[in-house]
């Protein structure tokens, strides 16, 4: 069986880590793409040279030409610029929207059958635009945020309770950002919902609320520590998990920014919801029931995503 091909658009912090993880897990051969000539080539060569030590057989190459992503089975997009001091949210939106236009054209021309995972911020608006620019079926274009946000939630809970992260599941919905909705009721320790853990005296309600807030601020906490750049190890691991589900038809249920067509009362919106990921891409949206306060938080989160999408439409009227 021929190896799968994984194209990584953007060879920065996350792109390089993605390449390493894909090779370590032998998910396929890697084509690392960036507009900065030399960086994807240099990172790919460095990673290829760790192959003999690690014992992986993936082939890693770097390029600055879209034709080299031809036939990719999976494309993971991290291309874009980060927000710099003095740059407004709209400035960032405008720049990264142009990047999505280029990337969408490249994917549409050379990898129209790929499963595409977008990571670039502002995530929910960028994945929405990338799907439109690429013209790929919406079930084949998803955004990565929920897996990362719930991994942060899981880590904090496991750390607090001194239990294995493997036994903690967590659910985070909504847009990626301050308005994300961590759902305690649907998050569990060995199947026991978190509110029950509070009742059992394992954790105070205040501590749980503090962890929920820390999860919401998870990205900013890391930016604050690193000072330059944002998180990249956990974001890369999260996207690789999504890619693996698709390539191995695992049908796992993961929170992803997915295209909604009526679910949760929303249409033509990308927002974080639980979905089944398998060989068909997003095979099903899991429409869980939200209580009144959860619904209020989710609606507020959707409204902030809508605001970004409206701003995109103003910048690029053809969307
Ligand atoms: O949960 C999530 N979705 C996120 C999102 C979690 C963490 C970080 N998140 C966002 O991912 C972050 O705000 C950025 O928008 C992306 C990528 O983060 P990374 O840390 O990898 O950024 P880098 O190191 O700046 O890498 C971006 C690369 C860089 O090498 C640029 O040269 C390249 O993108 N770039 C391009 N590549 C291809 N084509 C174009 N047009 C282009 N423009 C810049």
Residue 193 has pLDDT above 90, yes or no: yes
Centre a 10 Å sphere on the Cβ of residue 275 and count the other Cβ atoms it contains: 26
Residue 94 has pLDDT above 80, yes or no: yes
Residue 88 has pLDDT above 90, yes or no: no
Write down the catalytic residue from 20, 155, 176, 259.
176
Contacts of 52 (CB under 8 A, 6+ apart): none
| pLDDT level of residue 73 (50, 70, 90 thresholds) | very high
Residue 64 has pLDDT above 90, yes or no: yes
How remote is the C-alpha of 268 from its chain's centroid?
19
| pLDDT level of residue 295 (50, 70, 90 thresholds) | very high
Region 246-252: mean pLDDT is: 98
For ligand 1, atom 20: residue with the closest CA: 13
Report the separation in Å between the CA atom of 143 and the middle of ligand 1, taken as the mean of its atom positions: 14
∠ CA 183-189-191, rounded to 5°: 90
The answer to whether residue 176 is catalytic is yes
| pLDDT level of residue 301 (50, 70, 90 thresholds) | very high
**Cα–Cα distance measured from residue 184 to residue 173, given in angstroms and rounded to the nearest whole number:** 11
In order, the DSSP letters of the chain are -PPPEEEEE--SHHHHHHHHHHHHTT--EEEEE-SSTTHHHHHHHHHHHHHHHHT----EEEES-GGGGTT-SEEEE--S----TT--HHHHHHHHHHHHHHHHHHHHHH-TT-EEEE--SSHHHHHHHHHHHH---GGGEEE-SHHHHHHHHHHHHHHHHT--GGGEE--EEB-SSTT-EE-GGG-EETTEEHHHHHHTTSS-HHHHHHHHHHHHTHHHHHHHHHSSS---HHHHHHHHHHHHHHHTT--EEEEEEEEEESGGG-EEEEEEEEEEEETTEEEEE------HHHHHHHHHHHHHHHHHHHHHHHH-TT-
pLDDT for 26 equals 97
Residue 52 has pLDDT above 90, yes or no: yes
pLDDT for 319 equals 87
Q: What is the pLDDT of residues 140-192, one digit of tens each?
A: 999 999 999 999 999 999 999 999 999 999 999 999 988 999 999 999 999 99
Q: What percent of the chain has pLDDT over 90?
A: 93
Residue 119 has pLDDT above 90, yes or no: yes
Which of 85-89, 127-131, 244-248, 272-276 shows the lowest per-residue confidence on average (mean pLDDT)?
A: 85-89
Residue 219 has pLDDT above 80, yes or no: yes
| pLDDT level of residue 91 (50, 70, 90 thresholds) | confident
Regarding an ipTM greater than 0.95, the answer is yes
| pLDDT level of residue 1 (50, 70, 90 thresholds) | confident
pLDDT for 308 equals 94
pLDDT for 177 equals 86
Residue 318 has pLDDT above 90, yes or no: no
Q: Is residue 79 within 8 Å of residue 130, measured between CB atoms? A: no
pLDDT for 205 equals 98
pLDDT for 204 equals 98
| pLDDT level of residue 126 (50, 70, 90 thresholds) | very high
Report the separation in Å between the CA atom of 207 and the middle of ligand 1, taken as the mean of its atom positions: 33
pTM of the complete model: 0.98
CB of 307 within 6 A of ligand 1: the answer is no
**Cα–Cα distance measured from residue 302 to residue 307, given in angstroms and rounded to the nearest whole number:** 9
For ligand 1, atom 43: residue with the closest CA: 80
pLDDT, averaged across the chain:
96
Give Cα separations from 161 to 142, 147, 188, 212 (angstroms): 33, 21, 12, 14
Give Cα separations from 206 to 65, 209, 212, 293, 312 (angstroms): 52, 5, 10, 17, 38
Closest atom of ligand 1 relative to the 98 alpha carbon: 41
Q: Is residue 84 within 8 Å of residue 109, measured between CB atoms? A: no
**Cα–Cα distance measured from residue 61 to residue 134, given in angstroms and rounded to the nearest whole number:** 24
Residue 95 has pLDDT above 90, yes or no: yes
CB of 200 within 6 A of ligand 1: the answer is no
Region 297-310: mean pLDDT is: 95
């Amino acid at each position: 069986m021929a190896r799968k091909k994984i194209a990584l658009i953007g060879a920065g912090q996350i792109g390089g880590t993605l390449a390493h993880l894909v090779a370590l897990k032998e998910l396929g051969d890697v084509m690392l793409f960036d507009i900065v000539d030399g960086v994807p080539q240099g990172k790919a060569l460095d990673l290829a040279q760790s192959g003999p030590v690690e014992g992986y057989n993936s082939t890693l190459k770097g390029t600055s030409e879209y034709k080299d992503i031809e036939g990719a089975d999976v494309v993971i997009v991290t291309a874009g610029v980060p927000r710099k001091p003095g740059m407004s949210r709209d400035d960032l939106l405008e720049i990264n929207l142009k990047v999505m236009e280029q990337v969408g054209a490249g994917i549409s021309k050379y990898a129209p059958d790929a499963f595409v995972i977008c990571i670039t911020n502002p995530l929910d608006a960028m994945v929405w635009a990338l799907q439109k620019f690429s013209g790929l079926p919406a079930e084949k274009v998803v955004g990565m945020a929920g897996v990362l946000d719930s991994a942060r939630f899981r880590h904090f809970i496991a750390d607090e309770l001194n239990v294995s992260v493997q036994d903690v599941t967590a659910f985070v919905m909504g847009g990626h950002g301050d308005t994300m909705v961590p759902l305690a009721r649907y998050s569990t320790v060995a199947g026991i919902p978190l509110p029950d853990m509070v009742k059992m005296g394992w954790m105070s309600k205040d501590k749980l609320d503090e962890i929920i807030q820390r999860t919401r601020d998870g990205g900013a906490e890391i930016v604050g520590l690193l000072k330059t750049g944002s998180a990249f190890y956990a974001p890369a691991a999260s996207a690789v998990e999504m890619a693996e589900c698709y390539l191995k038809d695992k049908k796992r249920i993961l929170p992803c920014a997915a295209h909604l067509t009526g679910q949760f009362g929303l249409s033509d919106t990308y927002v974080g919801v639980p979905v089944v990921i398998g060989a068909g891409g997003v095979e099903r949206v899991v429409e869980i029931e939200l209580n009144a306060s959860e619904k209020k938080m989710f609606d507020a989160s959707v409204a902030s995503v809508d605001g970004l999408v409206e701003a995109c439409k103003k910048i690029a009227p053809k969307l």
